A and B are shown apart, each in its own frame.
Chain A
Amino acid sequence: MIRRAALPPETLVPGVAFLVVLVTFLCTPLITGKALTTFDVYNTLQGLAQLGLLTLGLGVTMIAGEFDLSVAGTYVIGGMLAVRTGQSSAILGVVIAVLAGAAIGAVQGGLIARLRIPSLPVTLATYIALLGLASAMSGGLSVTYTNTAATLWIDRKIADIFTVPSLVAVVGFVIAAAIFGGTRLGREIRAIGGDRRASRVAGVRVERTLVGLFTISGTLPALGGALFSYAYASANPDPGLQPLILATVGCLVGGVSLAGGRGLPAGLLVGALAVALLGQIDAMTAIPDYYTDLLYAALLGVIVAVDAPGLRRGLERLRARTLTTRGSDRRPERVIDK
């Protein structure tokens, strides 16, 4: 008899995925013939810096059962605003980008929470509009950031493996984890995602929390985009769907369910790290892109299977049938560690 996993998916999925990716990462010297260096770790963390805040922003809305497609838009507009307004003062640029992201998020959150509109179409419209705005601000071309002092400051290595953006990303996850672990808010967010009506009845201020969450999912990507643009000394008005899709993969690998109610910041960090590691494995081994594409497809395929209620029901029926034919009527119980 197959033993069922004793861990809930929000721990199991990121744990297993990360382990697989990490082992692959540690095995890359076998392919490349070169030992791993701190530079590889540094590069992985650079990947995390690029995706981390995006993943965290998207992830917290997904835990609450919403899906904020516009994170890719605030990411772009954050970078563009920071470069446009921060040529003389880098801090001013970041502040403006973050404020704009927060405002965009708050407006969307207000619409979604007060009118109870599904978040997907609203945030898709915002995403399209923000891409347009970024393109209009730059004439459709990349804008160079000429404040070299700021770029050098942001890009300098800290403790050999970190830079300012990757540290900021890690700090963001740590703060989120502290909030989820140490306050009632984390449980409330998961409750909102799990069963909104029940959480409202139980006294959770659903609307206010949602507006707050969307404000965060506007702010974090804008901050990430601003730092990324400074680090690369340019802002790209159209990075395509890739950042959004990778962030979604990061969230899903991180154990968040699109149906909501499941997931933790620690899982999100692990998911984002897994995606960053995959990118680094890619760069180190110089394998063709389609391998990565197929790998992502396989990863998501597993997640689809874990997440699909119909498939689960089907498998349980099948298992029940095989169990009864073997003369055992005991249904395996699922152990939940809470």
Chain B
Amino acid sequence: MTAPNNDHSRDGAAATGLAEQQANAETAPQMPGRFLARRCTDPLNVVIVLVVLAVIVTGVLTTRFFSVANARAILSSSAWVGITAIGATIVMIAGSAVSLAVSETATVVAMIFLATQQFGLATAIVLALLAGVAVTALQGAVIGFWTANPIVLTIAAGFAISGVATWISGGTTVYPQVTRFNGLNDTPLGLPLAVYVLLVLTAAAQWFLRRTTAGRHMYLIGENPRAARAAGLPVAQVTVIAWATFGFCIAITGVFLAAFNTSANSALGGTLSLDVIAAVLAGGTAIGGGRGSALRTLGGAVLISAISDLLLLRGFSTGIQLLVKGILVAFVVIAVHVRSTRGRQ
């Protein structure tokens, strides 16, 4: 599963990988032909181009797919999952694989947001975000400092979070005393506020990952934690930062979920955990860490929404939509893997 057992060990691969990337960047302008050829045979690009082409062709043949209203629908439906997926991308790049406690965290954040409405919208949002960051950063600390397995830990955290939430709420649905959050459901320029938040978050995460030291550290830690530790990077602290960011993103999704549903029960989070992982993987981020980007995840989330929307317009059931989503994720995962190992064989 995660790094220790992959027999194509990453030791040493990080250095060559980075060197290779630099070499690519340097040689690309001189050898456009080779660069282009490499791009065209890149299995990930082939898969993505084929899928996008298929969507476009089917879209042209489907009435109302290419319309402003439908584009809005696609963007809107990708917003909630997309926001959390941006955070999940950072965690996956930093090598902590996935979290299975996303649904529970979002649900609890939504409950806190609704239960604190009487203190004012700003206070409620701040409390909700703090809760999300605290709960998720704590998991990040256990993973970072104790190298705990993220899957087991997040399953445990999921149980703990939902247990405590049911304990405190008494297992009932949480209703707000006053509703001050209607502004969050606004649709400026015809798009829900969540879409703008998603775009801003994507840009911020992209900048953070590419341009800041902490962001670059995350790639190295994900690619090769031992090398990162040997290089003196604060591996545990950076892991905590990644998870805290993730928690922030989950909390934003939780707040939007709460504002949209105006009440919260234990089932609010639904299948968010898996949807988020699917979006990140469909964007081509490698599960083992070290590769991926926020922009790609945005692409993955929008692509999944577009395909679901297309299938819906053509009258296919939710079951078929899920089936196609699974197949898409499988193809992208295989393509990402083939690409990452091809150079080494």
Contacts and interface: CB of A to CB of B under 8 A. Distances in A.
A309 B147 contact: yes
A128 B329 contact: yes
Contacts, number: 195
A116 B166 contact: no
A128 B1 contact: no
A159 interface: no
B25 interface: no
Nearest to A302: B156
Quick one: which of B4, B281, B326 has the most chain A CB within 10 A? B326
A130 B334 contact: no
Interface residues of A, number: 62
Interface stretch (B33-41, B208-216, B252-260, B272-280): B272-280
Q: At the interface, is chain A mostly helix, strand, loop or mixed?
A: helix
Interface string A281-295: 000000011111110
A260 interface: yes
B320 A136 contact: yes
A49 interface: no
Contacts of B274: 124, 127-128, 241
A329 B221 CA distance: 35
Quick one: which of B151, B163, B164, B324 has the most chain A CB within 10 A? B163
B345 to A, nearest CB: 10
A7 interface: no
B164 A116 contact: no
B5 A128 contact: no
B67 interface: no
Contact of B171 (A65, A289, A294, A314): A289
Contacts of A116: 6-8, 337, 341
Contacts of B325: 128-129, 132
Nearest to B321: A132
A241 B103 CA distance: 11
B159 interface: yes
A115 B164 CA distance: 42
B281 A300 contact: no
Quick one: which of A125, A127, A131, A307 has the most chain B CB within 10 A? A125
Contacts of B9: 197
Interface in A273-320: 288-294, 296-297, 300-301, 303-305, 307-311, 314
A140 B156 contact: no
Interface string B306-345: 0000000000011111111111011001100110010000
A67 B156 contact: no
B73 interface: no
A151 interface: no
Interface stretch (A94-102, A169-177, A227-235, A245-253): A245-253
A133 interface: yes
Contact of B149 (A245, A259, A289): A259
Contacts of B152: 248, 252, 258, 300, 303-304, 307
Interface in B157-203: 157-160, 162-167, 171
Contact of B166 (A241, A288, A307): A288
A217 interface: no
B333 A129 contact: no
A304 B148 contact: yes
A8 interface: no
Given A237-B319, A296-B156, A297-B163, A258 B330 contact: no
Given A119-B1, A258-B149, A310-B146, A132 B155 contact: no
A190 interface: no
B288 interface: yes
A208 interface: no
Interface of B: 1-2, 4-9, 97-98, 100, 142, 145-149, 151-153, 155-160, 162-167, 171, 273-274, 277-278, 281, 287-288, 317-327, 329-330, 333-334, 337-338, 341
3 nearest interchain CB pairs? A129-B326, A132-B322, A135-B319
Given A118-B288, A305-B148, 5 more contacts: A124-B329, A137-B319, A193-B5, A260-B5, A294-B163
